[in-house]
Amino acid sequence: MRRLMPGRGDKPRALPSEETHRSRRAAWLRAAVLGSDDAIVSTASLMIGVAASSGSRGSVFVAGIAGLVAGSMSMAVGEYVSVSSQRDAESADIDVERRELTGQPEAELRELAAIYVKRGLDADLALRVAEQLSARDRLGAHMRDELGIDQAALARPMRAAWISAASYATFALVPLAAFLSVAAPFRIPAIAAASLVSLAALGALGGRLGGASAGRAALRVAVGGALAMTVTAAIGRVLGVSLG
């Protein structure tokens, strides 16, 4: 049969199911952590750039808010588009499968049984398993075992968009809160320090979730963030001098 999303479903899982669950959760959380790094680095860099150009308290604050809003929107749109295309591919796969189940049910039953044979059942048992699962939920069995689509985990574009926008906005508050809590002379160091500490903590968390060294991950993301802030501070200073 034609398959729009290749590479899923009919291969035996290499990992035991507990490992699979753990890696799925890690993928979700790591995506959230990456979005939050982005929120902290972008917002802090914007604010530091404007502050270094000797921008007023008001303009640094506006830069932070603008960064928060723009970043959240951009994350939401990006996530909506990417998850929508995943959902379109899933729906197209499911439509094809539904048509095939109606048009050629015997061939589809044999196809399902063949998948279980590939996974290690002998032919008789595979056919019985295919028959019993089909009797209960034919489309569900084909979605799960042939297409690798989990009905409970179908792509949800709006939810993905909201989650990523909310996560971005929340973490963009870190440099904003640091800025609001200190007097003017300390605003750049306060934004930088709060952001770097949060980045290091998130880096350590991300590293741990990915099974890597927490220390090295923390260092990597903190150095990257420090670099971004230094570059925008330098550009802000140069522009502040030349334009101001």
Q: Shortest approach of Zn ion to residue 123 CB, angstroms? A: 18
Q: Minimal distance in Å, beta carbon 125 to Zn ion?
A: 19
Query: Residue 149 or residue 188: which is nearer to Zn ion going by CB?
Result: 149
Which H/E stretch holds residue 204?
Answer: helix 187-209
Tokens of 20: 């699979």
Nearer to Zn ion, 19 or 95 (CB): 95
CB distance 168 to 38 below 8 Å? yes
Nearer to Zn ion, 142 or 187 (CB): 142
Q: How far is the CB of 146 from Zn ion (least distance, A)?
A: 5
For residue 189, which of 48, 66, 58, 39 has the smallest C-alpha distance? Answer: 48
- Please report, for residues 30, 190, 195, 213, the alpha-carbon distance to residue 203 in angstroms, rounded to integers and kept in the order given: 10, 20, 12, 10
- Report the nearest approach of Zn ion to the CB of residue 150 (Å): 16
Instruction: Work out whether 37 is an interface residue with Zn ion (CB under 5 A).
Output: no
Query: Which one among 37, 38, 93, 108 touches Zn ion, defined by CB under 5 A?
Result: 108
Distance CA 32, CA 144 (A): 26
Q: Which of 77, 32, 51 is nearest to 185 (CA)?
A: 51
CB of 101 to Zn ion, least distance (A): 7
Pick the closer one to Zn ion by CB: 144 or 220: 144
Report, in Å, the least distance between residue 139 CB and Zn ion.
9
Q: Which is nearer to Zn ion, 38 or 108 (CB)?
A: 108
Q: Which stretch binds Zn ion (CB under 5 A): 2-10, 134-142, 178-186, 208-216?
A: 134-142
Size of the site for Zn ion (CB under 5 A): 3
Distance CA 50, CA 40 (A): 16
Token pair of 193 as six digits: 């320090």
Using the minimum distance from each CB to Zn ion, give the nearer residue, 22 or 144. 144
Give the footprint of Zn ion on residues 137-176 (CB under 5 A): 142, 146
Nearer to Zn ion, 79 or 145 (CB): 145
End-to-end CA distance of the chain: 66
| Cβ at position 41, least distance to Zn ion in Å | 46
Q: What angle do CA 197, 201, 205 make, to 5 degrees?
A: 165
3 state SS of 150: coil
Task: Report how far residue 158's alpha carbon sits from residue 145's, in angstroms, rounded to the nearest whole number.
Answer: 27
What residues make contact with Zn ion under the rule CB under 5 A? 108, 142, 146
